[in-house]
Amino acid sequence: MKHSIFLLDDSVNFPDASLAQDEPNGLLAIGGDLSLPRLIEAYRHGIFPWYSEGEPILWWSPDPRCVFPIDDVHISRSMRRELKRKPYQVTINRAFAEVLDGCAAPRAKEPETWILPEMKQAYEQLHQRGFAHSVEVWRDEQLFGGLYGVSMGRFFFGESMFSSAPNASKFALIYLAHYLKEQGFLLLDSQVGNPHLYRMGAVDIPRSEFLNLLNTHIDWPQPKGMWLPKTLSEWQ
């Protein structure tokens, strides 16, 4: 059954994510703002903003949903050798703004960015309130890659990653998944799949399954202090 695209008002409430469009896949609503209460409400219900410059704010909940089960991040033999070589140091929440800038920078195949100034400001506010976090990859105190996302309950909602040196973003993802597993997390959400994510072990699950998991685990209390700035333990 085809549903209408919902127009948001001043309320921070969203329509049920199961009512999102089949085409374009996952488009649920349009409008509203990027205020802290609205973004928190969106993530709690499996919805995220994604739009380009010149467009209104668009809100999405795709079906299927691309996720990494925490135990299933794939590490190739060549990548295991790289991990043992330890070319990088990996940290959490030591350079959130810099990671955001790295993710927002134009890329060879993607000259335009969806991480617009108002998006950066919104996620910086989420970071300041303890919801958004970054993983940084360093060598000789220089930032070479990283990722950022939103953490609630037993979920980390990955937003974007960048790399300016070989395998730097892979290091960020692998170390984050290892850390989330240690802390009792369930899923690392990647929203929409692509060949790179699938090679790393991401899988598609029905949106209904994803929303059921959210409903069950979104209020799980995260371990105290887990997002304090720190260096992640070496991969064994």
CATH of the domain at 208: 3.40.630.70
- Residue 236 located in a structural domain: no
- Residue 1 located in a structural domain: no
- Residue 27 located in a structural domain: yes
Residue 121 shares a structural domain with residue 173: yes
pLDDT of residue 108: 59
Q: Residue 137 sits in which domain range?
A: 66-231
Residue 115 shares a structural domain with residue 133: yes
- Residue 198 located in a structural domain: yes
- Residue 151 located in a structural domain: yes
Residue 95 shares a structural domain with residue 191: yes
Residue 211 shares a structural domain with residue 165: yes
Q: What is the pTM of this model?
A: 0.94
Residue 47 shares a structural domain with residue 86: no
Residue 17 shares a structural domain with residue 79: no
Place of tokens 């996952």: 26
- CB-based contacts of 107: which residues, under 8 Å, 6+ apart? none
pLDDT of residue 18: 95
Residue 123 shares a structural domain with residue 159: yes
CA distance 24 to 22: 6
Q: Looking at the 3D structure of the chain, how many domains does it have? A: 2
Residue 41 shares a structural domain with residue 157: no
The whole-number mean pLDDT for each consecutive block of 10 residues of the chain, a chain of 236 residues, reads 82 95 96 97 98 94 95 86 91 97 79 82 97 97 97 97 93 95 96 91 96 97 96 73
Residue 82 shares a structural domain with residue 115: yes
Residue 13 shares a structural domain with residue 91: no
